[in-house]
């Protein structure tokens, strides 16, 4: 990679850090938000999923326009809206305003991930995308290592609003760096993309190759979002982890994920993206079955299980994104990524709602039927492995014909 490409990767990773942290911090804060706002697990599940639903809607609405503008300007516009929505979360004092704030944040934040993927595909060859995706996905792990522990520390010492103020501060700094350091990204405009937004959207949706990838994304996301909303509550009430040790749990598992992300990216470029995905699927299935059936456990065991489960998750996430990036053509890349991201968010929202309906809370806070979510996730993991095999075959044919 050139020096400029390395700079862009770093900036995009920091942007992803702020976006992922905003979404992920809701789960560990759930154990504080539910009693403070006097809401049930079902209502909290809705507060988590409303972000995903609004992100999904905005992704579809933005798809028709995604290839008509310089991707840098497109990124800046939606990042500013994301920062505003996060500020609303920081100012929320009741459940309904929090729902509104999460909706605004999702409307803008949902488009950012797809824009980042389109930029990566524009600027980096397929042989480099595994390691690039691996670096960018370290944002996920960094939010575990730094963002969530710091956010929980601030929330424990002040209140649950404080982490959102922290994210706003990070966002303002990252936005300024994007404006100053990233060059215009407009090579796709030379392909003369469809100027009719509605026609561009419909043409992208109707493409048979794209449809197959969209279905794979939907199933991949259902499994990924199934356990997330109740992770902190499950750790505290079911596994017996003291609430004050949650930051330590996220810190250790996040450090493991930081090492895993770039390593998985390099391995996927070297031995093959589908082989890496298959390994991740096997690890995920095994560890999810163990995790969701655990009872009260020592802290070290919970750490080992969580860390290994994250290895499986990253080994599916990174190669699947690299494979998906090779599906669309340049002139429809923004629309494809936007719709794909939209489906990811909507499917994740459905998963969060289903999780809220499946899981119930005992009188002592113990979560009931949590293991059922694990069985559902295993089923989706098997389906997506078959789907990703088909996608890898399509990508191999496309690269062979290019």
Q: How many domains does the chain have?
A: 1
Identify the domain containing residue 223 by its residue range: 3-401
Evaluate the CA torsion angle 267, 271, 274, 275 in order and state its sign: negative
pLDDT digits (tens, 9 = 90+) for 17-61: 888 888 777 777 777 877 878 777 777 778 877 887 788 788 888
With b meaning 16 or more CB within 10 Å and e meaning fewer, what string describes 175-214? beebeeebeebeebbeeebbeebeebbeebeebeebeebb
Other C-beta atoms closer than 10 Å to the C-beta of 76 total 16
Asked whether 154 and 166 are in contact (CB, 8 A), the reply is yes
Residues above pLDDT 90, as percent of the chain: 14
Cβ neighbourhood burial of 84 (10 Å; 0-12, 13-18, 19+)? middle
3-state DSSP of 132-176: HHHHHHHHHHHHHHHHHHHHHHHHHHCCCCHHHHHHHHHHHHHHH
pLDDT digits (tens, 9 = 90+) for 242-258: 877 887 887 787 788 77
Asked whether 174 and 11 are in contact (CB, 8 A), the reply is yes
Asked whether 230 and 41 are in contact (CB, 8 A), the reply is yes
Q: What is the pLDDT of residue 277?
A: 93
**82 falls in which pLDDT band (50, 70, 90)?**
very high
DSSP string over 308-366: HHHHHHHHHHHHHHHHHHTSS-GGGHHHHHHHHHHHHHHHHHHHHHHHHHH-EE-TTSP
More confident residue, 14 or 189: 14
Position 144 pLDDT exceeds 80 = no
Q: For residue 207, give the 3-state DSSP assignment.
A: coil
CA distance 76 to 255: 30
CA distance 19 to 83: 9
Token pair 């370290």 in the structure block, residue: 138
| Residues written for the chain | 402
Helix (H) or strand (E) segment spanning residue 367: strand 367-368
CA angle, residues 292, 144, 149, in degrees to nearest 5: 105
In order of 50, 104, 139, 159, 340, the CA distances from 171 in angstroms are 21, 15, 14, 20, 24
Other C-beta atoms closer than 10 Å to the C-beta of 39 total 17
pLDDT digits (tens, 9 = 90+) for 203-255: 888 888 888 888 888 888 777 677 777 777 888 888 888 877 887 887 787 78
Helix (H) or strand (E) segment spanning residue 372: helix 370-401
Helix (H) or strand (E) segment spanning residue 74: helix 71-91
pLDDT digits (tens, 9 = 90+) for 248-286: 887 787 788 778 888 888 888 888 889 999 999 999 999
Bridge partners of residue 115, in order along the sequence: none
Evaluate the CA torsion angle 74, 76, 79, 83 in order and state its sign: negative
Q: What is the pLDDT of residue 294?
A: 87
The DSSP bridge pattern shows strands 360-361 and 367-368 to be antiparallel
**95 falls in which pLDDT band (50, 70, 90)?**
confident
Helix segments in 190-272, DSSP class H: 197-206, 208-226, 231-237, 246-271
- What CATH code is carried by the domain that includes residue 209? 1.20.1250.20
Other C-beta atoms closer than 10 Å to the C-beta of 67 total 28
**78 falls in which pLDDT band (50, 70, 90)?**
very high
CA distance 213 to 339: 11
Helix (H) or strand (E) segment spanning residue 193: none
């Amino acid at each position: 990679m050139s020096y400029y490409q390395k700079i862009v990767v770093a900036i995009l990773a920091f942007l992803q850090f702020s976006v992922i942290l905003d979404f992920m911090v809701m789960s560990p804060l759930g154990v504080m938000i539910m009693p403070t706002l006097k809401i049930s697990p079902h209502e909290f599940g809705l507060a988590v999923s409303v972000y995903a639903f609004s992100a999904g809607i905005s992704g579809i609405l933005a798809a028709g326009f995604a290839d008509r503008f310089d991707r840098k300007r497109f990124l800046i516009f939606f990042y500013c809206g994301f920062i505003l929505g996060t500020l609303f979360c920081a100012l929320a004092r009741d459940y309904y305003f929090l729902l509104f704030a999460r909706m605004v944040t999702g409307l803008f934040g949902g488009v950012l991930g797809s824009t980042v993927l389109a930029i990566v595909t524009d600027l980096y060859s397929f042989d480099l995308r595994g390691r690039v995706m691996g670096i960018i996905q370290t944002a996920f792990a960094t939010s575990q290592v730094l963002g969530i522990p710091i956010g929980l520390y601030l929330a424990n010492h002040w209140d649950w609003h404080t982490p959102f103020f922290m994210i706003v501060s990070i966002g303002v700094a990252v936005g300024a760096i994007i404006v100053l350091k990233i060059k215009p990204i407009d090579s796709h405009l030379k392909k003369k993309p469809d100027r009719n937004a509605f026609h561009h959207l419909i043409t992208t949706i109707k493409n048979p190759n794209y449809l197959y990838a969209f279905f794979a994304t939907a199933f991949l996301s259902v499994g990924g979002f199934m356990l997330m909303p109740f992770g902190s509550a499950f750790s505290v009430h079911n596994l017996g982890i003291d609430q004050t040790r949650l930051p330590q749990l996220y810190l250790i598992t996040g450090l493991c994920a930081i090492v895993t992300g770039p390593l998985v990216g390099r391995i996927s470029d070297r031995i093959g993206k589908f082989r890496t995905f298959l390994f991740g699927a096997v690890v995920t299935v095994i560890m999810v079955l163990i995790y969701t059936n655990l009872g009260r456990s020592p802290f070290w065991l919970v750490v080992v299980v969580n860390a290994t489960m994250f290895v499986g998750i990253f080994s599916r996430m990174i190669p699947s994104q690299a494979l998906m990036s090779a599906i669309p053509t340049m002139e429809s890349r923004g629309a494809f990524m936007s719709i794909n991201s939209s489906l990811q968010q909507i499917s994740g929202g459905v998963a969060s709602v289903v999780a809220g309906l499946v899981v119930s809370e005992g009188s002592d806070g113990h979560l009931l039927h949590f293991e059922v979510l694990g069985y559902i996730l295993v089923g989706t993991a098997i389906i997506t492995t078959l789907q990703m095999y088909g996608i890898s075959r399509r990508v191999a044919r496309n690269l062979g014909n290019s």
